[in-house]
Amino acid sequence: MLKRRIIIRDLVLPGHIKRARQSNDGNESGSDGEVWPSVQRLLTLFPADSFKPALPRIALKHQLYSLCLRRACIDQELQQLRDSGRLRMFKIGGETDERFALMLSEEFEAFARTRQGRLPDVVFRRYLNLVLRETTDLSVTPGPNLPFSDTEISDLVQAGFLTVRDFGCYWVACPDMGRFVSVYRKMRVRILRTVRRTKFKEMLRSELETRLPQSSPPLEYMMHDLVGDGTLRAIDTTSGVLYRLP
């Protein structure tokens, strides 16, 4: 029988992040700067070019939890990164789905410009200046500080730059995000179905890689997702990392 011990920190954790994390063990206030390199690492795993046309690189907030970063520090530093204009965060899924996508602000703005033709120029420029550059909020409400007419709001929703949150309130959105969400959800189903079919509802990473070759999004990206949201547990064994359903 395999000898096991639960791990989180060593789950596909890049060495430079691991060293920074270990140097701050026991120091609750010494974890500044962990989230930014972790987000960048997750973004490198995103298969942007597999989408035609390409999407901006996307990380998911809960993936950071798989890297054993303190949740309070994650929220604090993400807010700092958003306030500094380096990072944007978007709500994905329904109102009860607590999933948030992370993108580099410059990459999202560049991508938004490729979709500029979906809107009248004056509406896009106002959206760019008032929504993307003046606020980091997840949702917006038209009003004196956000002067869009009902017709313009309808155009923004139809173009994918906003989605309806509630009456008179809208999530800031990324156009064509649905293309990613669709393949992401299908890959989650494939991985979980593969693990559930095993006798003990667990599988080594090496076996998953054999059964799901050339997965998209890649397996490493998806395991950060599934471990980060608690769907799977990561366990270190003498044969490698084992993933198990709770």
Q: What is the reported pTM?
A: 0.84
Q: Are residues 58 and 156 in the same domain?
A: no
* Residue 109 is assigned to a structural domain of this protein: no
Whether 159 contacts 127, CB under 8 Å: no
Q: Are residues 97 and 188 in the same domain?
A: yes
Q: Are residues 128 and 87 in the same domain?
A: no
Whether 23 contacts 29, CB under 8 Å: no
In this prediction, residue 16 carries a pLDDT of: 38
Q: Are residues 152 and 195 in the same domain?
A: no
* Residue 71 is assigned to a structural domain of this protein: yes
* Residue 62 is assigned to a structural domain of this protein: yes
In this prediction, residue 31 carries a pLDDT of: 43
In this prediction, residue 167 carries a pLDDT of: 87
Q: Are residues 212 and 122 in the same domain?
A: no
Domain holding 55, by residue range, is 4-23+33-101+177-244
In the chain, the number of structural domains is 2
Residue 132 DSSP class = I
Q: Are residues 186 and 86 in the same domain?
A: yes
* Residue 111 is assigned to a structural domain of this protein: no
My answer on whether omega of the bond before 14 falls inside 30° of 0, hence cis, is no
Q: Are residues 165 and 181 in the same domain?
A: no
Query: Residue-wise pLDDT tens for the chain (246 aa)?
Result: 444 433 433 444 434 334 444 444 444 433 447 899 999 999 999 998 889 889 999 999 999 999 867 888 899 999 999 999 999 999 987 766 779 999 999 999 999 999 999 999 999 999 999 999 888 999 999 998 899 999 999 999 999 999 999 988 999 999 999 999 999 999 999 999 999 999 999 999 999 999 998 888 999 999 999 999 999 999 999 999 999 999
My answer on whether omega of the bond before 213 falls inside 30° of 0, hence cis, is no
Q: Are residues 9 and 72 in the same domain?
A: yes
* Residue 28 is assigned to a structural domain of this protein: no
Q: Are residues 160 and 190 in the same domain?
A: no
In this prediction, residue 96 carries a pLDDT of: 62
Q: Are residues 188 and 226 in the same domain?
A: yes
* Residue 224 is assigned to a structural domain of this protein: yes
Q: Are residues 188 and 93 in the same domain?
A: yes
Residue 143 DSSP class = B
